[in-house]
Amino acid sequence: MGKGKKSKSGGPGPEVGECEAAVKAANEGHELVPVVEETLDAMEARHRRERAAVEALCASLGQSKPEKDKRVKMMGWISQRQYEETRAWEDANEGGDEGGDASSDDDAHAADALAKDVSAKATVADADEPGAAAGQGGMTKAMKRRLKKEAEERERDARIEEEKANAGPSEREDEEKILRLRLQPLGHAIAEIKADGHCMYRSVEHQLSVRGVTDETVATDHVSLRRMTADRLRADEWDYRPFAEDFAEASASADEGWAKYCDDVEKTAAWGGQLELGALAKALRRSIVVFSARMPKVTMGEEFAGEGEPLLVCYQRHAFGLGEHYNSIVDA
């Protein structure tokens, strides 16, 4: 495992302890093995969980200079840690660059540029650790692919923030106004959830923290909720698959497509909709009530209405120009 930055007193800086705690929490409920024994897919899935946890920690910080510096150090720490783990995995699995040389020369050049950019940022973050980011110019293709994907996700987040900052009166504002007027007489208000592709699962995660769980042994972080949803889609395949138009027929290609669909639900930031929400309600054995501005409210898992307080979320079609969005509903 990578080591964090040292403080002037010789021990790890406070941001390292916070990052390590966030990483530990992200991996709760997952079987962990030494990095050299992981499959590449398993390592990359774990890295996504851990990076998302650290990014969420960074998002909670303010805009003062010390907090901005802390954010840079945290992102430098997770980048360096995951880089070292990837190199250790590659060293232990020589020739095991799974997936082959799928990238074009242009993609390889772009990835090299990203690698240099991340290396520079990590060096700034760990300036008093000589050589902390050394060697990153020789990144593997697997690392470059991940860096490219992370850059695309950061670009998407930046576009969302820019849109929110610059938008004037819009469909989004009209929709929010109607939704708030519908919720106000019920004593409810909207709780904003991060728009990162996981918003539906994060909304349910937030609801479980607010309204309580019925089974204390069930992990309720958004990563675990994705896994539960995918497991339910697989277990009750033909309860859900007929409603996924691309996979409704029984054929080899549709079977393969459905399997990939379920894997994407579990392992990526694929957006969740009504199909996934219904499966999640069944997996949790909780009713989930969905509010929206221009449609009647919809209850998923009505048969579980007596098993715990209903979970309340809202669907916003025009939340962002880049896509639809779910938020959580709290008591005003």
CA dihedral 121, 125, 127, 131 (to 10 degrees): -60
Q: How many CB atoms lie within 10 A of CB 199?
A: 26
Alpha-carbon distances, residue 129 vs 70, 107, 125 (angstroms): 16, 31, 9
- Best CA proximity match to 52, nearest among 265, 263, 221, 261: 221
Give the active site residue among 196, 231, 236, 263: 196
196 is catalytic: yes
199 is catalytic: yes
Give the active site residue among 58, 199, 262, 314: 199
Do 279 and 301 contact (CB within 8 A), yes or no? Answer: no
262 is catalytic: no
Give the active site residue among 47, 188, 206, 325: 325
- Best CA proximity match to 29, nearest among 187, 216, 198, 219: 219
Tell me 272's DSSP state: P
Do 164 and 320 contact (CB within 8 A), yes or no? Answer: yes
Residues marked as catalytic: 196, 199, 325
